[in-house]
Amino acid sequence: MRLCPRAAVPAPEILCSRCSGVCNNKVKELSVRIPRPAGQGPSRFIPEEEILQVGMEDENMVLADAFADMGRLDNVALVMVFHPQYLESFLKTQHYLLQMDGPLPACYQHYIGIMAAARHQCSYLVNLHVNDFIQSGGDQKWRAEQVAGTQTLADNKRTHIEKLLKTGEHSWSLAELIHAVVLLAHYHSLASFTFGCGISPEIHGDSGHNFHPPSVSNYCICDITNGNHGGNEGRLTAGSLSSDSSCEVEVLMEKMKQLQECRDEEEASQEEMATRFEREKIESMLAFATEDEDPPPAREVSKHFEDTSYGYKDFSRRRMHVPTFRVQDFSWEDHGYSLVNRLYPDVGQLLDEKFHIAYNLTYNTMAMHNDVDTSTLRRAIWNYVHCMFGIRYDDYDYGEINQLLDRSFKVYIKNVVCSPEKTTKRMYDSYWRQFKHSEKVHVNLLLMEARMQAELLYALRAITWYMT
C-alpha cells in the first residue's frame, strides 16, 4: 500500500505509533499535501469549548428546531445560540425571507444575498448562498461576468427607484422592491455580525480546509480526528488580561449610575443636545483603526460585483457634510414598520420583533456583576451606530456616548458596522477585556440590528417620497 505513486516507502514505515495514521514528518518526505480545517470551531475569536457548552444545554431547544427546519446548523447559528431568544427570532425572520413564497423568486432572493455579502467581501455568506442559488433554480450563467441577468440585478441595486418601477421588461413592483431592500439590509448587517464575531468557514464549504502548515511542529494526523488541530494561540485568557483592565467594569458601572442620576436632575437644552450630536457625529468619522488597509477581495467574492471600490466612504476624509436624519420625521415605529407590512405582509412584524429583542435583551449582568441595569449602555451603543449614519434622536443626550464608549470600543464598532471586512481579533480583544464572550456576541447583535434599521430607514424614506 502506498500513499503516493512516486513514493518507494512501504506503508508500515510511515504509520504513526500513536494512532496508525500518517505522521507529519513522513508526509513531508512523500510531498503529500493534507488539507486541514481552516478554523477552530465556529468562531476564530471565541473558544470552541464555550460555544459547545452553550449548545449542549438541556434547556436550549432552539438549535434542535433549527436543524429540523434547515437540515443543517451553520456557524452563525452556533454563535448566536449564546442568546437563544434572539436566535429564534432571527431564524424565523430569515426563514420567512428565503423559504416562504414572497414577491421575488427564490433564485433572486439568494442572488441578492450573494451580492449583498460580496459588498463586504464576506466569502462565508457568499459560499453559503451560491449552492442555494443553484438549487433554487438559478441560472449558473448569472455567476459569470457580463451576463444580462447579473447586470439586471446589479442595476436594480444602484439605480433610482423610479427607473426600477417604471414599465418595461425588467420593471419591478413595489412589493418586489421592498423584498429586495430588506434582503440587502439583512445580509449587509449579517456580514457585520459574521466578521465581528470572527465566524469561521463552514468545514464542508469551499473555504473550510486549507493546506497551511500546522501551528504545532510535532503534528500528527490523529490530532485532526481528535479535534486538536490548532491550539490556543492568540486567545485571550484571564491570566493574560493587562492590569489596567482590572477595574474597567467598575468604572463603566459608576459612569452609568452617574448618568442615570444626572438625567433626573437636569436636562440640556435642545440647542445643546443638537450641538452634542453634531460633535459626536464628526468624532465618529475618525474612529477607524488607522493601520488597516482595504483587504483585496477573495477570488470567489470578487466575481459577484464589478466595482471593487464600492463601499463605505469616510465623509470626514473628504470634507463632506453629513445631513442629519431626524427620527422624529421618519421612524421605524411610525412609518417604516407599516410600509413594510403593507407591501410585504408579516415581514414588518418579524423585523420589529427582532429589533426589540436585540435592543431590550438583558440578563442584568455585567462581567462578574449581577443585578445591573444595562439600559443606558445598550441605548448608547444603538444610538452611536445610528449617529454614524447621521440619524438623530431629539430626546437623547449624545454626551452620554463619550462617557460610556471608550476609543477602542468605538474603533471596533466603526469597523464592524461600516467596514466589517477590516475587523480583526485584536480589535475584538481590545475592548471590554473583562466581559464574557456572550456579552460581546450581544454587542454584535446590537450592532447588526442597529445597522439594519438605519439602512432600512433611509431606503424606506426614499420609497415613501417616491410614492407620495
Distant-in-sequence contacts of 266-271, Cβ < 8 A, 24+ apart:
267/397, 268/397, 268/399, 270/394
What is the rounded distance in angstroms from the CA atom of residue 130 to the CA atom of residue 142? 11
- Provide the Cα torsion 46, 47, 53, 55; round to 10°: 40
Catalytic residues: 122
User: Highest-confidence range of 36-50, 61-75, 321-335, by mean pLDDT?
Assistant: 321-335
| Ramachandran assignment for 234, one of left (phi > 0), alpha (psi -120 to 50 degrees), beta (any other) | left
pLDDT at 325: 94
pLDDT in tens, 258-280: 988 887 666 778 888 888 898 88
Residue 387 C-alpha cell reads as 449617529
- Of 294, 261, 201, 259, the closest CA to residue 401 belongs to 259
Task: Specify the pTM.
Answer: 0.79
pLDDT reading at 442 higher than 80: yes
Query: How many H-runs (helices) and E-runs (strands) does the chain carry?
Result: 21, 6
Q: Read out DSSP for 404-461?
A: HS-HHHHHHHHHHHH-GGG--HHHHHHSSTTS-HHHHHHHHHHHHHHHHHHHHHHHHH
- Identify the pLDDT of residue 206: 56
Confidence tier at 216 by pLDDT (50, 70, 90) = very low
**Percentage of residues in the chain with pLDDT exceeding 70?**
66
On average, the pLDDT of the chain sits at 77
pLDDT digits (tens, 9 = 90+) for 308-320: 555 555 554 555 6
